[in-house]
Chains A and B, each alone.
Chain A
Amino acid sequence: MDKNSNVYTFIYASVMVILVAAILSLAALNLKPFQNRNIEIEKKQNILASVNVQTTALNAEKVYAEKVIKSFVVNTKGETVDGDAFTVDLKEEHEQPADKQLLPVFECKLDNGIKFIVPMRGTGLWGPIWGYVSFDSDMNTIYGASFDHQGETPGLGAEIATKAFQAQFKGKQIYDAQGKFVSITVAKSNETAPENHKVDAISGGTITSKGLQKMLKVDLGKYNAFFKKQKNLEGNE
């Protein structure tokens, strides 16, 4: 058959495309359960990392079951509402009006007390960034943080996922002395902010750093009512 004829070219292209599509969809379908499981395990690892508990992919589920004693969903008024905290998809929630959003909270029991973990999601330079921040029971002091990203530049924006960056958050506070919500400033060297409300940005990763700062401010702000309520509760006990 003439290899340069139109018929041959059309048939060749069609067969190739259908074949490749079949192989790829078969692979995607069969690998999906494994991939979803990996994602679930990673989420548990990230939650645990925010209370400075390091796990491997193998023991994450066991440790998670031990340490995370309670999880629930609140709304922006700080009231508990129905829902499964672990399966709440922040991306979908962010599309809802603020007062309808479900805000997950994970309660974690460590040797040095109960920690409250809240998830967050924002945008970096190339795509979404997300993370978990844990608080001491005063609902003000950060106990730990873990951040991750989809495709930030390695060596630059992707540094938000490193321990060195995340360790800066420990001990920082999100409310000032007057009890006003100030969040955390991810500061470049020419920016000033009170020491207990600021961490250092990543050189070369300004847009990711600022995206992280915005994520903290917006998503922690939604928990404002819950934090205040929880704090009063602690004070009365």
Chain B
Amino acid sequence: MSDKEPLFSKKNLKLLSDPLNSSNPITVQVLGICSALAVTAHLKPAVVMSISVMIVTGFSNVIISLLRNTIPNRIRIIVQLVVIAALVILVDQLLKAFVYDVSKQLSVFVGLIITNCIIMGRLEAFALGNKPWPAFLDGIGNGAGYGAILVIVGFFRELFGAGSIWGFHVIPQSWYIANGGFYSNNGMMILPPMALVTVGVIIWVQRSRNRKLIED
């Protein structure tokens, strides 16, 4: 029995750390691109979205892992969907009742979490075949891996697109052309296509540093 395995064994820690690098859900598994493009125009929604996705991946992994021996194979996708949707709606209702301002900030994203391919991808690939604790770590790890990319993309898009970070202006006003300077915000950056280009650049940097990821 592997019950004696420590909670944070090397194998379990790898579940947490791998998604941050060599099996990152966005840059390597190429999952969850759609929401990564939609929510990264500014840093703040990117961070809030990352945290929400981490919570949902973690807990849906645990629930599916607990149910894994009872789920009929033919309807497993539907079961996964119901679990995710129920969890997201529950979180949304709780946010609306107790932290209304946070819920306002998240607005449509809470609903978008349901459609995030990472969650279902991890349920299908990991939670169905593993015990709850490793499944939980895998969920949190993948949520964090997703979040890390979102935050990087959000940082650059907000910096170049709006000249601010976390809503605070960082480009000096005197640089702007309107004030006689040489600088102007790049309007392209706040549109989704530039998010894709930014993700592309991140993938490029990651692969040039980690040769193992390059396919033939």
Which A residues form the contact surface with B (CB < 8 A)?
3-4, 8-9, 12-13, 16-17, 20, 23-24, 27-28, 31, 34-35, 38, 41-42, 57, 126, 150-151, 153-156, 158, 203-204
A–B Cβ pairs within 8 angstroms, 5 of them: A3-B72, A9-B75, A13-B79, A31-B94, A57-B101
Q: Are the C-beta atoms of A151 and B108 separated by less than 8 Å?
A: yes
In the assembled complex, the Cα of A28 lies from the Cα of B90 at a distance in Å of: 8
Q: Are the C-beta atoms of B93 and A31 separated by less than 8 Å?
A: yes
Q: Does B9 contact A (CB under 8 A)?
A: no
Q: Does B13 contact A (CB under 8 A)?
A: no
In the assembled complex, the Cα of A9 lies from the Cα of B79 at a distance in Å of: 11
Closest to B73 in A: A4
A9 in contact with B187 given A17-B82, A38-B100, A154-B45 (CB within 8 Å) = no
Name 18 extra pairs, CB < 8 A, besides A16-B82, A154-B41, A204-B190.
Answer: A3-B70, A3-B73, A12-B71, A17-B82, A24-B86, A24-B93, A34-B98, A38-B97, A126-B108, A150-B107, A151-B107, A153-B38, A153-B41, A155-B41, A155-B42, A155-B158, A155-B161, A203-B187
Q: Does B30 contact A (CB under 8 A)?
A: no
Closest to A148 in B: B104
Q: Are the C-beta atoms of B190 and A34 separated by less than 8 Å?
A: no
- Cβ of A172 to closest chain B Cβ, rounded Å: 20
Produce 1/0 per residue, B80-96, CB < 8 A to A: 00100010011001101
Q: Quick one: which of A24, A35, A41 contacts B89, CB cutoff 8 A?
A: A24
Q: Does B205 contact A (CB under 8 A)?
A: no
Set of chain A residues within 8 Å of B39, measured between Cβ atoms: 154
In the assembled complex, the Cα of A154 lies from the Cα of B192 at a distance in Å of: 12
Majority secondary structure of chain B interface residues (helix, strand, loop or mixed): helix
In the assembled complex, the Cα of A156 lies from the Cα of B41 at a distance in Å of: 8
Q: Are the C-beta atoms of A204 and B187 separated by less than 8 Å?
A: yes
Q: Does B191 contact A (CB under 8 A)?
A: yes
In the assembled complex, the Cα of A28 lies from the Cα of B91 at a distance in Å of: 11
- Cβ of A181 to closest chain B Cβ, rounded Å: 32
A31 in contact with B108 given A4-B74, A23-B90, A155-B190 (CB within 8 Å) = no
In the assembled complex, the Cα of A57 lies from the Cα of B107 at a distance in Å of: 18
B window 159-216: CB within 8 A of A: 161-162, 187, 190-191
Q: Quick one: which of B42, B74, B96 contacts A31, CB cutoff 8 A?
A: B96
